[in-house]
Amino acid sequence: MSNFHIGLTEDKSLRLRGKPLQEVVRQYAAEHNLKVVMHFPHSSLAVPASFWEDVGIDRGYFDFINLQMSDLCLLDLFSSWDFEKVIAPYSRLYVDVEKYWDEAKEPMAKFGMGAVYSKDIFGNDLHKRTPLFMAEAKQYYDHHHGLLSKACDCDKDVLILDIHSFSYRMSRLVTGRHAVPDLCFGQNKDDSDCPDLVELIKLWLKANCKCSCQTNYPYNGSILPNRRRAGQRIYSLMLEFNKRFYL
């Protein structure tokens, strides 16, 4: 029986060879009657003028950490994917829309890296978090999550592809380990996970490129909307690419 299963897996992998991953995802969504929504929370390098009123760092250092912490070039890589996209227009150093606003729920808040960072990835001071700025930040945060909820407000179940990248240097600060994969699949430990899609993508990778991958390492979880229709299923998969793999 195990040899038969291996044969089926290899046959499916061969059938995926040369097929664009976008079409693999599209077919999966069609078979499961899913709307696909792509989420890009950290792809922008831009900040509004009000950002500079709430931080005390020079622009040279800001440019350095912004490049370290942003998901560079992912919008270009996925430009041909014609699913609906929800894109944060500003850098995560302005407001990180992927984090919980409630710091009691956000694990990174203890490091000063909740939705509005009081510390950067190296532990240096960043935002002063004045009441005026925090009110502005909350409005921006809520607007973004409103857009994500609106994108998921449909008569179908939804698949969210939460698109990220990470640097080797940053991952070592988080994990304290040297070995990291080329691609991390982030899944929630609830009914939003989609292990069959993860296995399908792994087969595609086996057929089309040399790429190491792991689930929930070095990062875990995937975003969900704040609202959904009654009875609607929302599936969410984070695809977190090692920058060394694609840059």
Tens of pLDDT, residue by residue over 73-95, are 999 999 999 999 999 999 999 99
Instruction: State residue 176's pLDDT score.
Output: 63
Give 5-58 pLDDT, tens digit per residue: 333 455 566 678 889 999 999 999 999 999 999 999 999 999 999 999 999 999
Mean pLDDT value across the chain: 92
The residue segments making up the domain with residue 175 are: 2-246
- CA angle at 88 for the pair 25 and 114, rounded to the nearest 5°: 110
189, amino acid identity: K
CATH number at residue 196: 3.40.630.40
What separation in angstroms does the CA of 221 have from each of 32, 98, 184, 236, 238? 22, 11, 10, 9, 7
pTM for this entry: 0.91
Residue 113 contacts by C-beta under 8 Å, 6 or more apart in sequence? 96, 99, 119, 120, 121
The structural domain count of the chain equals: 1
